[in-house]
């Protein structure tokens, strides 16, 4: 029976896994993730991969939006830069996937650095529009730089490979995705409790105060942009090599909005939140899809009503969550945990 966590040092307070219980459940969950491909079908694994890419991108964006307080509406473009870099390097320069992937991340980070420069002068809505411009500029480049991107036709990308082992099915790619998700989450979770992470939070809370405290705004804002775009680039590159094709259609503006929605629905400024957000935003439309098609199997006459209804339901869910829990899914999760910690002897 637990009745409280006693921490005797700040070091203890900063620990990621604070109790044995957390470690135990997390290990169990991780084992579940590891064995998932053995009983899930290709569809579930496909969605699991999508969730993975979304988690990487959302965790990255949360670093920028949730921790540093800089809004970016161009995140899909950075993912696109990563995707295209990987595709071009693998097909034109014949790089291996393992070399092309970090390059994709770095090129996306460089793009993020450049787009991030206006953040030094403009804030809030103005920055929003500045990054929105990035989205359109990059989309234009994807379509029109035909010698490199092959325009609207897109580039076919080979599957990643180790020796003769090809990551060409959902199950095989799943492990790759899982690996990168773990790496990303571990990196970001650790980053936010370092000096850099605290600088980000200081900038978010009050940039003027942060500067007076000696935080170099120029350095940290751009670092945040770069790291966040790096992960977007990685997510884009993974998605592209999973789909084996990249076209400009893969990175539309609404994907940027979706990434932002993941971060907001999940909870700004928590890593766990963006994971929840990514899962929610990817999984719920799928669940609604399955539900509506199952419903229309039962009542075929109402098919044309049920299918469009899912968009309404999805919209209402988001609004509902934001009204009833503005701190996002992470907060809901915290409350559920708090409830069960003392259950059934809560006071």
Q: Which residues bind other proteins (CB under 8 A)?
A: 41-44, 46-47, 50, 143, 151-154, 156, 169-170, 243-245, 247, 249-250, 285-287, 289-294, 297-298, 303-304, 307-308, 310-311, 332, 335-336, 338-340, 346
- Give 18 or 42: the residue with its C-beta nearer to other proteins: 42
**For residues 30 and 7, what is the distance between their CA atoms, to the nearest angstrom?**
26
Quote the least distance from Cβ 259 to other proteins, whole Å. Answer: 13
Quote the least distance from Cβ 170 to other proteins, whole Å. Answer: 8
- Give 211 or 286: the residue with its C-beta nearer to other proteins: 286
Quote the least distance from Cβ 332 to other proteins, whole Å. Answer: 5
- Give 47 or 201: the residue with its C-beta nearer to other proteins: 47
Q: What is the DSSP letter of 19?
A: S
Residue 143: which of 132, 154, 156 has the closest Cα? 154
Quote the least distance from Cβ 181 to other proteins, whole Å. Answer: 17
Residue 94 contacts residue 150 (beta carbons within 8 Å): no
What is the per-residue DSSP string for 35-55? HHHHH--HHHHHHHHHHHHHH
**For residues 179 and 157, what is the distance between their CA atoms, to the nearest angstrom?**
21
Phi and psi torsions of 122, nearest 5°: -115, 155
- Give 46 or 230: the residue with its C-beta nearer to other proteins: 46
- Give 68 or 292: the residue with its C-beta nearer to other proteins: 292
Asked if omega into 344 is within 30° of 0 (cis), the reply is: yes
Quote the least distance from Cβ 91 to other proteins, whole Å. Answer: 14
- Give 14 or 297: the residue with its C-beta nearer to other proteins: 297
Here the tokens at position 137 are 């500029």
Quote the least distance from Cβ 293 to other proteins, whole Å. Answer: 5
Residue 74: which of 233, 270, 206, 223 has the closest Cα? 233
């Amino acid at each position: 029976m637990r009745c409280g966590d006693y921490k005797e040092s700040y070091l203890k307070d900063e620990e990621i896994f604070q109790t044995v219980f957390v470690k135990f459940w997390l290990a169990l969950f991780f084992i579940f993730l590891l064995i998932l491909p053995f009983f899930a079908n290709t569809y579930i694994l496909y969605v699991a991969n999508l969730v993975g890419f979304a988690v990487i991108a959302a965790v990255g964006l949360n670093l920028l939006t949730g921790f540093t307080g800089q809004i970016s509406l161009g995140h899909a473009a950075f993912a696109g830069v990563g995707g295209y870099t990987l595709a071009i390097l693998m097909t034109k320069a014949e790089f291996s996937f393992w070399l092309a992937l970090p390059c994709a991340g770095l090129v996306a980070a460089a793009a993020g650095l450049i787009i991030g420069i206006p953040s030094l002068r403009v804030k809030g809505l103005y920055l929003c529009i500045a990054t929105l411009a990035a989205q359109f500029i990059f989309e234009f480049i994807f379509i029109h730089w035909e010698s490199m991107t092959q325009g609207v036709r897109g580039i076919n990308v080979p599957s990643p490979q180790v020796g003769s082992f090809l990551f060409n099915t959902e199950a095989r790619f799943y492990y790759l995705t899982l690996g990168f998700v773990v790496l990303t989450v571990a990196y970001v979770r650790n980053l936010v409790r370092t000096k850099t992470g605290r600088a980000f939070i200081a900038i978010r809370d009050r940039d003027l105060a942060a500067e007076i405290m000696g935080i170099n705004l120029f350095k940290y804002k751009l670092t945040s942009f770069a790291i966040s775009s790096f992960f977007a680039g990685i997510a884009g590159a993974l998605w592209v090599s999973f789909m084996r094709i990249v076209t400009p259609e893969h990175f539309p503006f609404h994907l940027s909005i979706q990434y932002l929605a993941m971060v907001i629905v999940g909870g700004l400024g928590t890593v766990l939140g963006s994971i929840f957000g990514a899962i929610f935003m990817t999984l719920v439309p799928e669940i609604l899809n399955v539900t509506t098609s199952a419903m229309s199997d039962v009542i075929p006459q109402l098919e044309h009503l049920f299918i469009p209804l899912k968009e309404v339901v999805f919209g209402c869910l988001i609004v509902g969550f934001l009204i009833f829990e503005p701190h996002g899914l992470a907060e809901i999760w915290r409350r559920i945990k708090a409830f069960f910690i003392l259950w059934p002897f809560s006071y």
